[in-house]
Amino acid sequence: MKGLMKRFMKQFRYGEKGFTLVELLVVIAIIGVIAAVVVPNVGRFMGRGKTEAYAVELHNVQTATMAMLADSDTALLTAVSTATDDMDDVQTTDSPTTLKLSDYLTGLDADGKLVSGCSYTFTSDGTIEQTTP
């Protein structure tokens, strides 16, 4: 009976595949080292991407403002002295039809507002200041 049990246990383990505790610990250590290197770099890249996105948006707003001023008869903006994200508020003083900056920009929501969270201040000569969130 004892021999039968020993044979049964030997047969049970024969051909069994698996990992030892040491192998699993080595793999966990390698994953930990990789995570320690990758996580700070990903955070840095995400922060830099947001900053670059704000710079690109400012450039797009400046380009759209220049295009609007080029189409304008008066070449003057209605100054927006408080920061706004609503591009419908930025208009020329043309008469009888004023030009709106929202008509020159893409990527605005249905109300003509920017979705980035940035806001802008415009002067009558077309100078633009960006306020980031």
How many CB atoms sit inside 10 A of residue 101's CB?
26
Domain ranges of the chain: 24-131
DSSP code, position 46: H
Give percent of the chain with pLDDT exceeding 90. 17
pLDDT digits (tens, 9 = 90+) for 60-116: 999 998 888 888 887 777 777 788 888 888 888 887 888 888 889 988 888 888 888
pTM: 0.65
